[in-house]
Structures are given as C-alpha cells and as structure tokens.
Chain A
Amino acid sequence: MIDNLSMLLKVYLTAIPLIVLIGVYCIVVTHNLIRVLIGVEILTKAVTLLLIIAGYVTNNTAFAQSLIITLIVVEAVVVATAAGVILNVFKNNNSLHVRNIKHLRG
C-alpha cells in the first residue's frame, strides 16, 4: 500500500510542475488577453490536482473534496469577472492584444 502511494506521489508530483510550467509559459509568452486567462485556468487545474493528491495520500479525501468544491466556485467567479473586464477592454480598443493593458508606467 505504501509503495503504491509513494509511486502515485512520484507520478503526480512530476506531472504537476509540468502543467504549471505550461501555464506560466502561456501567460508570459502570449499577446492575447484571453490566452492569458487560459494560462491562469491551466495553473488552477494544476492546483486542483495538487489538492486532491494531498488529500489522497493523507487519507483525507473528504476534506480535500470540500476544499476543491469551494475552489471551483471561486474559480468560476474569477473567470467570469476577468472575462467581463476583457470584454470591456475589447469594446474600448477593438483588440485583445496585451499592449492594451500596458499604457500606465512609472
């Protein structure tokens, strides 16, 4: 049982940093605001996985589940708000380019 658990930990603790890497690369490199949001979503997926792994290996999945449910509700509201802001950026500039949010400096 212990062996299975530690193997599982190894597998997912390898995959989660990779997903984080993909999300961060997306946020840093992209020029499109919606893609930035997609990057944030990918990072959220990685965190969801990390939470359930933490619950599973400590034999506490019920607890981890209740955290994940709350996290998903928060995530949906954040995405809706961000989408609203991005839509208004588009209405003002007729473009989704990241340069539209790079005017203020200094």
Chain B
Amino acid sequence: MASSLILIPLIAVIIFNLPIMASHKRLPLLFGVVFSLWQAWLALFSAGSLWGNPVFPLPLLSGMHLQVTHLTLVMYLAIAIAAGSALVICWYTLEDGNKRFDVINLILLAIAGMNGVVSVTDLFTLYVFIEVVSIASFILIALHKDGDALEGSMKYILMSAIATLMMLSAIALFMMTTGSTAFGEIAHALRTQPDSLLRGTAVGLFLGGVFIKSGSVPFHGWLPDAYASAPAGVSVLLAGIVTKTTGIYTLIRLVTAVFGFSAHLQTLLLAIGALSIVVGALAALTQTDIKRMLAYSSISQMGYIVIGLGTGTTIGVAGAVFHLLNHAIFKTQLFANAAAVEEQTGTRNMDALGGLAEKMPVTGITSIIGFLSMAGVPPLSGFWSKLIIIIALWLSGYRWYALIAVAASVLTLAYMLSLQRRVFFGKLAAGFENLKEAELGIVLPAVILAAISIIAGIAFPFVLHRLILPIAAGW
C-alpha cells in the first residue's frame, strides 16, 4: 500500500505528459489536490493492517521493502497538508501556463519522492529519494531565473551535493563494516559489534550530512537564501515540508531506528538544537524581508525538534514529531500569507508595508493565528507540542535547556509581533490605497491551515491518541 503513494503520482505525471493529454492543463492540479486529500485521509483514519498489504496490483513490485511506522503516518499527513497547499498556491501565483504545468508536475514528483523518503528501510534508497526531492527543489527555486533565484538554487545545489556525498561515504563505510545498507541490519551490527574508527566515522559523516540538509546552525547558511529567493508557492513547499522531510525526519528516523541514543549523540543533539533555537530567533529579529524572517524562524523551530529528540526519551521524541507536524501546518500557512502579501503588493520588504490588515483582512487574521500557534500560545496546536518538548527536557534533567526553550519562545513572540506590526497593523502605507485581498486560491489554503491549527489545538486529545502516543509507545 505504501508503494502506491509513490507510484500513483509517478504514473500520473507520465500520463499528464502524453501527447493526447496536451489540452488538459488543469488536470494535474486537480489530481494533486485530490491525491493530497486522499493521502491525508489515509494517514488519519486508515487501519494499521492496511499498510502491510501489497495492495498495489503489481506482483512485480513486491520487493520495494517499504515500512509504514506511526512516525511515517504523521509524515504522510504533513506532506499531504504542505504539498497540497503549495500546489494550489503555485497555480494561482504563476501566470505563464507552461511554467504552471511544469511546476505542478515537479511538485507531484517531489511528493512521490517525499513519500519514498519517509517509508524506506534502506540507507541507500533513502539517499536516492532524498536526491529526487532535492533536485526537484533546485529546479523549482531557479524557476524565474533571476539573479537571486539562481544564487539560492546554486547554494542549495552545492550544500546538498556536499551533504549527500557525506551520506554516501557513510553508506559505503557501513557496507564495509556491516555488509549491508538496510536499517535493521546496520542497527543490529551497531549493537553487537565492537566500536571501531570506521564505524564512528560513518555515523559522524551521516549525521553531518543530515545536519546540513536540515539547515541546523552552524550549517544553515544556504537555507534563508534558498527559501527567500524561491517563487512564492515554491517557498511554501520548501519551508513547509521539503527540508523537514529530507533533513529533520531523516535525523529522527535514523537516530531512533538505526544509530540508537548514546550520551555523546544526545549532547550533540541538545547543543545543536539549543544553538539553532537561539541563533535562528536572534537572526529573525534583524530581518526586513518577510520570507527571510520566516526562514530564520524555521531554523529556530527546527531547533525545538532537534532538542526534543536530544532528550532521548519517548515523550521527547513524540513531542519532536508533533512539533514537526505543527510546524508543517503553521509555517506553510505563514508562507502562504507571505505569498498573498507579495502577490498583492509586489514587495517583501516589511519597511515598505504597513496597515495591510485593513485591506487584506483574511490574510491579516490567519497570519495572527499562525504566529500565535508558532509562539506557543494556548489553545493552538503549536502550544501543545512545545509544552511536551519542554516537559520532556525538564523531566529528563536538562533544566537549562528547558529554560532556553522557554526564553526563546519569548523571542519568537517578539519577532512575530514585529512582523505583524510592520506588515498588518498601524497606518496603511503609502501607495496601497487600492489594495485588494488576494485571490481565493491563495487565501483559501491559509484559512484551512489556520482552521487546522485551531481544531488540532482544541481536539488535542484526539491528535494525541491517534498520532502521537503510538509513536511514544514504540518507534
């Protein structure tokens, strides 16, 4: 069943590009939205037994060795939410018909790649699917071919190439020492064999690659450039889900399923997490570009996830995964708001904006909900995940880190308030007297995502029991 989430988009893209389909330019968008809804429904309500069946009617493809864990289900949901919104926003922010068509196809391929990343059980296959998503992102960032876009894309290509080469060397070293690239066999060998220099190098190289991919401080240099210079709809996809899947999910999965927790690893995770939280939040305070500020806030929020993972406890990991899901919801929504602002005003410079809430009320209100959720204000869903992470830190004795996490929440509140004040509140900036609310296609995803933030916060017990506790019970 898991294989169909990879194969259906793949086959769909091939069909859309057949010559007989040339007149149906809207079909890929329609398919993408329906597919996202279906994937979200499967992730939320399917029975666990469903995923074991080789439902896809091809006996030929029974050897893909996919595995759907509870962590995977949460990621399926996050991918469906973020990528579905990105599809719609890309469609409505691009004018050129051909470009639209290419972009929708590339996002569909990226969805297939991300579904692959979260369900594979083999390091090398993981690398292949990470490359699918990354290459699609390079192309999407460079879409408009202006100076900034090409710069962001080139930086991402370079950092990503270095990261994947580090991962590949680690894979080769694992093969040399354990004879396999499968998660299970490597985990078994790591537990039973004595430690060696080659093995330590392999773990270190792989973690280094993943940290670069996830844009954690101090490997974050490429991330704001790539996010900010991408076309509006593409930064929704990148910030909402791409770097979370290729970086953070990979980190969580490998640490929990393959490497296992050790004192050194936990220290490293806690240090990088705390550094990312603080540096990201401080850098966000100084930005004037909306998208750059949101990009730095992404780095900061990633820090919460890494620090939650660093506790090494089930509750910490559950909180980290929950925050990953919440981040996909509110960051996708905030970037959708940024896309609406950029589309209507033509600028991302916050100093040139002001008082937009008057003219764009829906965008203004949803933006407030998104920022309250990110800052961790109850009862929105972002509050619960931060709470779980901080409790986990406190309970496992990392009280200083818990204090850093709480203090950085105040910083989050500060830079998001500054964003709200400079863009939406106050006096209307000169030149925007005739401003209108953005198109329905851009506003609607933001409204739905804001609603999800509220509902998931109020219906927290359901989310907890359905998605989060199963992860804590056994990863």
Cα distance A86–B142 when bound, in Å? Answer: 11
A24-80 interface with B by 8 A CB criterion: 27, 33, 36, 40, 43-44, 46-47, 50-51, 53-55, 57-58, 60, 63-64, 67, 70-71, 74, 77-78
Q: How far is the CB of A11 from chain B (nearest CB, A)?
A: 15
Question: With A60-B179, A81-B138, A104-B225 in contact, do A40 and B168 touch (Cβ < 8 Å)?
Answer: no
B282 within 8 A of A: no
Contact (Cβ within 8 A) A36 B150:
no
Query: Which of B145, B161, B162, B171 is in CB contact (< 8 Å) with A92?
Result: B145
Instruction: With CB as the reference atom, state the residue of chain B lying closest to A47.
Output: B168
Question: With A70-B128, A100-B151 in contact, do A47 and B286 touch (Cβ < 8 Å)?
Answer: no
Chain A residues in 8 Å Cβ range of B171: 51, 67
Question: With A40-B158, A78-B131 in contact, do A88 and B176 touch (Cβ < 8 Å)?
Answer: no
Contact (Cβ within 8 A) B128 A101:
no
Question: With A47-B169, A81-B157 in contact, do A101 and B151 touch (Cβ < 8 Å)?
Answer: yes
Query: Which of A33, A46, A92 is in CB contact (< 8 Å) with B147?
Result: A92
Name the residue in B154, B165, B171, B173 with the highest tally of chain A Cβ atoms < 10 Å from its Cβ. B154
Chain B residues in 8 Å Cβ range of A8: none
Query: Which of A40, A54, A74, A78 is in CB contact (< 8 Å) with B175?
Result: A54
Cα distance A88–B292 when bound, in Å? Answer: 24
Instruction: With CB as the reference atom, state the residue of chain A lying closest to B134.
Output: A78
Name the residue in B139, B162, B283 with the highest tally of chain A Cβ atoms < 10 Å from its Cβ. B162
A82 within 8 A of B: yes
Contact (Cβ within 8 A) A92 B146:
yes
Cα distance A64–B168 when bound, in Å? Answer: 12
Chain A residues in 8 Å Cβ range of B124: 67, 70
Contact (Cβ within 8 A) B151 A104:
yes
Interface of B is mostly: helix
B272-312 interface with A by 8 A CB criterion: 283, 286-287, 292
Contact (Cβ within 8 A) A60 B175:
yes
Q: How large is the interface on B (under 10, 10 to 19, 20 to 34, 35 or more residues)?
A: 35 or more
B153 within 8 A of A: yes
B310-329 interface with A by 8 A CB criterion: none
Query: Which of B146, B169, B286 is in CB contact (< 8 Å) with A106?
Result: B286
Instruction: With CB as the reference atom, state the residue of chain A lying closest to B168.
Output: A47
Query: Which of B150, B161, B172 is in CB contact (< 8 Å) with A78?
Result: B161
Question: With A57-B176, A78-B135 in contact, do A40 and B161 touch (Cβ < 8 Å)?
Answer: yes
B358 within 8 A of A: no
Q: How far is the CB of B77 from chain A (nearest CB, A)?
A: 28
Name the residue in A36, A43, A101, A103 with the highest tally of chain B Cβ atoms < 10 Å from its Cβ. A101
A22 within 8 A of B: no
Instruction: With CB as the reference atom, state the residue of chain A lying closest to B139.
Output: A81
Can you list 24 residue pairs at the A/B interface with Cβ under 8 Å? A27-B158, A36-B158, A47-B168, A47-B172, A53-B172, A55-B175, A58-B175, A60-B175, A67-B181, A71-B168, A81-B135, A81-B157, A82-B138, A82-B161, A85-B142, A85-B153, A86-B154, A88-B142, A92-B146, A93-B147, A101-B151, A101-B154, A104-B148, A106-B287
